[in-house]
Each structure stands twice: as structure tokens, then as C-alpha cells.
Chains A and B, each alone.
Chain A
Amino acid sequence: MTSFSLQHQALEPSWFAALDPRTRLLAAVFFTLSALCLSALWPLIALLALALLLTILLGCQWRLIIKRLLAFEGFMVLVVLFLPFTVAGKPWFAIAGMEASYQGVIQALVILLRGNAVVLALLALVGSMEPVKLGYALAGLGIPEKLVQLFMMTVRYIGVLFDEHQRLRTAMKARAFVAGSNWHTWRSYGHLLGMLLVRSMERAQRISGAMRCRGFNGKFHLLTPVKWHRRDTAVLTLAVLLFLLPLEWQWWQYGF
């Protein structure tokens, strides 16, 4: 039985793992901001190269990165296919009477590059982090405690729910269930989902009971162990300067 994990186990260098998780989160935010400000092709390619460099430097596992990128690329394919035909501008070529414009192609390329750069950087900077650490980082950045707790609970129980789902699936398979395109399949999946919902509900009630047993009265306590060091300031400054480089290139070459 495979177990479910939100984290792709990165082989991150120890200096990187020792950083305050907020540094990594903030670096990712600045990277995204920089990507959003870029609209010229070559600076965007430079940013994508930067993201690739980060991925290599921080020792990510390519198999996992590619697997996660593919899920994202499925969405990107639609953008690349439709944008050239829907953006008005100078016509470039025509397929079956529909004209593709230069502007549309460029716009599709920009979105493709920007999206991939951001996703790669996020996977390298945040995706390699223990999800719990991400929760601490969010709390440390002043995100409302209720939202952080919601996130922490999700992290805690998504695996438990996944296991429950797997057990039900195995039980179905053990009784010779094979998914097909028929009414029986849909009904069975309906039962599976319904059962999962009922069980989640019951588990939620048991958890809430257990919390009340330990004196829970609506107040959550987060013993946040994040500490900002001087090296975090240094790394974040360096990262922000690095991420600003393509932006400066764009301003210098193409204006605002």
C-alpha cells in the first residue's frame, strides 16, 4: 500500500534545511512577484533558467519534479492551444479557417515560461519543505491562526484519509471489482465516496471528542519554533537581488 505524502523528499543541502522556513517562503513570494512583472521573452527565459538553477542547487529529485510539472503542463497545453487563436493582432498562420496572431503566440509563450518558472521555483523552495514547517512559516508571517490550524489539520489527516480510501479500494478490488464505463462502476464509486465522507465525519467527531477530553475550549496553541538568524537576512537579500536581475534587464532593454 502506498502512503500519501504532501512533500517530495528533497535531498536538500544542510545549509538550506537549516534556514528559517520563512526565508524560503518569502524568497518564493519575491520570485513569483518578479515573474508576474516580467513580460518580455528573453528576461523570462533568464528567470526560467534561474528556477532550473535553484532546482539543481537545492538537490531536488527530478522524477518527482517532472511528475508534478506534468500535472501543471496539462493545463498549460490548453493555454498554448487556444491563446494564439483568441488574441486579436497581426495574423501569422491559419488552420481550418481560424487565424493565429503573432501577439497571441507571444502571449502564450510568455504565460508558458512564466508559469513553469514559478512552479519550478515553488517546488524547489517550498515543495521540498516539511509541510509542518510551512505551517510554522505561515504562522510566523502573521497568517491568521485559524487558517494555519486548518492547514495543519489537513496535513495531519490527509494521509489518514488516503489510507482509509486505499483500504476501501483494496476491499473492492479483493471482491473482483474492475472499473469500467458502466452504471455499476459509477454507483460503486458513489458508495466509496459516500463511505469516505461518513468515515471522515465520524473521525472528525472522535478527534473533536479527544480534544475536548484534553480541555480544548476553542483556543489553539502553536509552539512555533521559527527563529530568524542573520544568515536568513543574508540569504533572502541575495535571493531577492538575484530574482530582480531579469526584471532590471527588462527595464533597461524594453522600458517599463
Chain B
Amino acid sequence: MVSENIKQRDDRVTETSHSALLKVAGLGFAYAQKPVFSEVNFELYPGDRLALIGANGAGKSTLLRVLVGLAKPNSGSITAFGQHCVGEESFQRVRQRMGLLFQDSDDQLFCPTVLEDVAFGPLNQGLTAEQAIAKAQTTLTSLGMAQFAERITYRLSGGEKRMVALATVLAMSPEILLLDEPTNGLDAAAEERLLQHLQALPQAMIIVSHDRAVLERLANRAVILQSGQLDAAVMHRHPHQHAHEHLHVHPSSEVEAGKHGAKEHH
């Protein structure tokens, strides 16, 4: 398994000539003596959009938390941007360049106004107030959220909150994005808007999602976390050729008015 991985990596290095942004070797995590995952190995290269799939409770979110140093692994090593990460200090540097989008945007947005929230990261990176505000405004504008700058965060809708949360992450100019269920709880329109923006981003990504359609649009590589092991997965699509019935839902008034005839029922 390990040797296979190394061979795989060697192939990648010759193939891309880039070095890995993120390298994880032999990573293991246990919660209250109960192992969540162990011997996790993978690498992330510039341009990679890695789908991390697995059942509920498989430890996908935990793995993301371990990667940014919010949870402490029991074994293994994390090398980010060529630096071996041990201890809070090295992870503090990592977090400047690796942005995590949380599952629940209410956890991420804690400032009174949208502008303050988006400027929080840049301020922590050492920008002056004016620079941070300018950065926040540019980021909001790039996501089409400029008019939300003065809004109070807790009065936003779920979709707006998610977009602002993305802005708070992007304002720090991360090189890697970790997305934990980015479209969870969004309606179709909000999801479409978010996906369009995510697709246009240049960053390498690790995407956790249960939604196949989301992964299909965002990811170009996949790994699966099951029974505590991380394995490479294959994403493929193939045409299905089978006759089947569709469930159609129409307002009953329209049906009564004869709008939906038999010809429509393919």
C-alpha cells in the first residue's frame, strides 16, 4: 500500500513537475480510544480538486479538522507547503494559506457585520484596517456580494450566509480550500450560485460532500474514506440505457386543465 503510494507520487512528480502542496503520511486519529481513521496517505497538488467521500461518521470532517490543526492526530505526519507541521505554531502558519469552509456558516460568521467578518482574517494577517476593508470589499465584489457589506450577519438567509462564509475564507487568499459539505442546506438557486463561484476558483481543493452532482462539477479526483482507511476512488460516468418511469410532479390544477397530456409521459 505504502510503496504503491510512493510509486504513484513519483509518477505525479514527473508528470506535473510541481511539488505537493499538501502531503499526508500515515495519519491516524482516535476519539476517546476509538480509532476514527488510521494510516491515511494522500497528496494534494496545485490544480487538484480532490473529492473526499465516505459514509456518515467515517471521519471526513475530522480529517479536515486534523489538516488545519484543529484536532490533534495520534500518529502520522502532515507536510504543508513544504513545511513539516507539528504543534500549534506551525499550524497557525498553515491556516494562513489553507482555508476551511465550515458545514454550518453560523459557526463561521461571528462578527456583527458582514464587512467586519470578511475583514477579520486579513486583519489577523497583519493588514491595516484600511487595507483589510479594501480586501474585504474586493472579495465581496468578486462573489457578487458587495451590497451585503453593511448587513448584520445574523439577519442573512442561509444562502447568503454561505456566500459570506466563503468570502471570509477567500479574503485570506488561501492556496488550498477545504470545503466541508459546501452545499448542505442550500436551496437550488443558492447552490447553483455557490457552485458557479467555486468552479471558477483557481485554488486546489478538498471537497467533502454527499451530493454526487456537486462532486461531479467540482472534483477531478476522488478518495474514499471507509472503515478507517483512505483509498483512491474512481469517478466515472457512463450512459445508462434503460427504460424507466419518471416521477412527474405537476400542480393538480394544471393537470385538470389538460396541460400535461400523454405525449409528455415519456
A: residues with CB less than 8 A from B are 130, 132, 135-136, 152-153, 155-157, 159-160, 203, 206-207, 209-217, 219, 221-223
A131 to B128, CA, bound (A): 26
A243 to B111, CA, bound (A): 36
Chain B interface size, as a band, is 35 or more
Taking a contact as CB atoms under 8 Å apart, the answer to whether B112 and A221 are in contact is no
A217 to B104, CA, bound (A): 22
A130: chain B residues within 8 A (beta carbon): 152
Q: How far is the CB of B141 from chain A (nearest CB, A)?
A: 18
A206: chain B residues within 8 A (beta carbon): 102, 104, 107
Taking a contact as CB atoms under 8 Å apart, the answer to whether A223 and B154 are in contact is no
A132 to B111, CA, bound (A): 10
Q: A153-B110, A223-B129, A223-B133 are in contact. Are A214 and B104 (CB under 8 A)?
A: no
Main SS at interface, chain B: helix
Taking a contact as CB atoms under 8 Å apart, the answer to whether B102 and A210 are in contact is yes
B: residues with CB less than 8 A from A are 65, 68, 70, 92, 95-96, 99-100, 102, 104, 106-113, 115-116, 119-121, 123-125, 129, 132-133, 152-154, 168-169, 172
Q: How far is the CB of A220 from chain B (nearest CB, A)?
A: 9
Q: A214-B124, A223-B115 are in contact. Are A156 and B107 (CB under 8 A)?
A: no
Q: Which of B110, B125, B169 contacts A156, CB < 8 Å? A: B110
B120: chain A residues within 8 A (beta carbon): 211, 214, 216, 221
Q: Which of A135, A155, A213, A223 contacts B119, CB < 8 Å? A: A223
Q: Which of A156, A160, A214 contacts B121, CB < 8 Å? A: A214
**Can you name 28 A-B residue pairings with CB atoms under 8 Å?**
A152-B111, A153-B110, A156-B112, A156-B153, A159-B154, A160-B106, A160-B154, A203-B107, A207-B110, A209-B70, A210-B108, A210-B110, A211-B110, A211-B120, A213-B70, A213-B100, A214-B120, A214-B124, A214-B169, A214-B172, A215-B95, A215-B125, A216-B124, A221-B116, A221-B119, A221-B120, A221-B129, A223-B119
